[in-house]
Amino acid sequence: MSGSQLPVERFDANARDALGDPVLRGALRRATDLFGERRRAAIDDVGADDFEALRDHARAIKDATLAHLDVHLERFVAQAEARGAKVHWARTGDEACELLAGLCAGAGAKTVVKSKSMTTEEIELGAALEAHGLRSIETDLGEWIIQQAGEVPSHIIVPAIHKTKAQIAALFADKLGTDPEADEKALTAAARDVLRREFAAAEVGISGVNFAVAETGSILILENEGNARFTTSLPKVHIAVMGIEKVVPRFEDLAVFLKLLPRSGTGQHLTSYQSILTGPKQDPSADGPEELHIVVLDNGRSRFLDQAVTRASLACIRCGACLNACPVYQQVGGHAYGSVYPGPIGAVITPQLVGVGKASQLPYASSLCGACREVCPVRIDIPALLLHLRQEVTEGHEPSGSPFGAQRRPAKRGERLGFRLWSFGVRGRLRYEWGSALARFGQRLVVRGGYVGKVGALLSRLAPPLGAWTGTRDLRGLAPRSFRARWRQELRHQELRRQGLTPSGGER
């Protein structure tokens, strides 16, 4: 499967292609199973009851913060600036990219090292910096592999989850001249050699932010490889990019999220590194950047705040657990979603970011089994959000405040008519019984006439909504007799038995 960003409008076709790739499906199955097992073990360690209490606590913090997000953001900015950081606001991804390119130019940068950040992926910062003549080097191993392969990430915490070890060894052999049979240790060492040189050459480091603390103006960056620590401490200038939803009120709130995020995402008790930056370094002999810039990005997030149902998606801490648990993601992987945010939370966020009209297939990329809701550490009711977005799709609406109103597409008239007829039929007992009897009569004609195969084939070719249903599912026949008819017959038979008579069978 191609790793470049696939069109978000074509999820169904992208998914079909992915389903035909057994190597991809094998890699996904192994990785998501492993993360699922590790997550369960890490939760057992805390105790299930304590973990549930932590989830409640985390969600309460998020809800309280989102209810007064402006206040907490202003406090964060004031505290960060008081400690010497320079804070910049960006309304859109383009605005943020221009701002970042300007800051890099101001620092005289030719090479920029980046640590893993979904927010910078969202605004396509790497490509924007390259367009400004800068070398932008990903330093997270997974991201670096993806960059070398000319692909995009397929998971929010494991960007190269779709790649097998053999594919990575072949890529390294091609790009770095390593042994095609090299093991994981040798491959990691080869990447480290290259990346150490890039760290030494870079004038600017760019990172994302996991949490921003309003009380102290600090930012927290979590990682496992030490590359974010290098990114924030070796170059003289550091720029951190954060979405507006990353702020938490108090420093002590971090303790709650630090217990939840690694356990939910990778099944770790704690990530290997936690870097907290509170302003640039004050002591010249200390580690850390001489200049710290923080770019606070909206890029559509403030629209999510309008309604309680969509506001919930801003509680996401990007742990990736819902991707690992999702039976759809496990089969098709991340590229099929055509977005940097794949999986269940991607199916919620992407339509809100790019427009419900454009990403109209994503809210349907779910069986609504609820596995995502079960594992989400901040208890986001993703199935409810998907149903809300399906309603927006069916009614041809964009969420309120959305700039995508011009992309409104006509509502599916056939589907609406079908549901109106269905609603009319099932709201009256007689109508329902007559309708069912008519359908059974038609079914009998089809069966007796030996037309089952032909009618099934015809239905599978029908225009939506029938074709969409029968294209991927068997069309189940109606039961030969309705429940009400069987119930009435059973009552009659009981009555006959009470009178000492034998029901004249045949029909039972």
Nearest approach, Cβ of 92 to ligand SF4 (angstroms)? 23
Please state, in angstroms and rounded to a whole number, the distance separating the CA atoms of residues 31 and 96. Answer: 34
Residue 482: how many other CB atoms lie within 10 Å: 15
Nearest approach, Cβ of 319 to ligand SF4 (angstroms)? 4
Q: State which of residues 371, 376, 385, 386 lies at the interface with ligand SF4 (CB under 6 A).
A: 376
Nearest approach, Cβ of 265 to ligand SF4 (angstroms)? 7
User: At a CB cut-off of 8 Å and minimum separation 6, what does 30 contact?
Assistant: none
Nearest to ligand SF4 of 34, 452 (CB atom) = 34
Nearest to ligand SF4 of 356, 376 (CB atom) = 376
DSSP 159-192: TTTT--HHHHHHHHHHHH---TT--HHHHHHHHH
Residue 262, interface with ligand SF4 (CB under 6 A)? no
| Cβ atoms of residues 356 and 394 within 8 Å | no
Please state, in angstroms and rounded to a whole number, the distance separating the CA atoms of residues 300 and 302. Answer: 6
- Outline where DSSP puts E strands in 232-365: 237-243, 247-248, 273-277, 291-297
Q: State which of residues 353, 375, 386, 389 lies at the interface with ligand SF4 (CB under 6 A).
A: 375
461, with CB counted inside 10 A (0-12, 13-18, 19+), is exposed
Determine the interface stretch with ligand SF4 among 137-145, 313-321, 326-334, 410-418 (rule: CB under 6 A).
313-321
Q: State which of residues 99, 241, 380, 393 lies at the interface with ligand SF4 (CB under 6 A).
A: 380
Residue 123, interface with ligand SF4 (CB under 6 A)? no
Nearest approach, Cβ of 270 to ligand SF4 (angstroms)? 17
| Cβ atoms of residues 135 and 111 within 8 Å | yes
Task: Bin 238: left if φ > 0, else alpha if -120 < ψ < 50, else beta.
Answer: beta
Residue 267, interface with ligand SF4 (CB under 6 A)? no
| Cβ atoms of residues 7 and 13 within 8 Å | no
| Cβ atoms of residues 84 and 279 within 8 Å | yes
Residue 378, interface with ligand SF4 (CB under 6 A)? yes
Contact track, ligand SF4, 317-356, x by CB under 6 A: xxxxxx----------------------x-----------
Determine the interface stretch with ligand SF4 among 168-176, 192-200, 232-240, 371-379 (rule: CB under 6 A).
371-379
Nearest approach, Cβ of 34 to ligand SF4 (angstroms)? 17
Nearest approach, Cβ of 314 to ligand SF4 (angstroms)? 10
Q: Which amino acid is at 133?
A: G
Nearest to ligand SF4 of 199, 329 (CB atom) = 329
Q: State which of residues 242, 292, 316, 332 lies at the interface with ligand SF4 (CB under 6 A).
A: 316
Q: Which residues contact ligand SF4 (rule: CB under 6 A)?
A: 316-322, 345, 375-378, 380
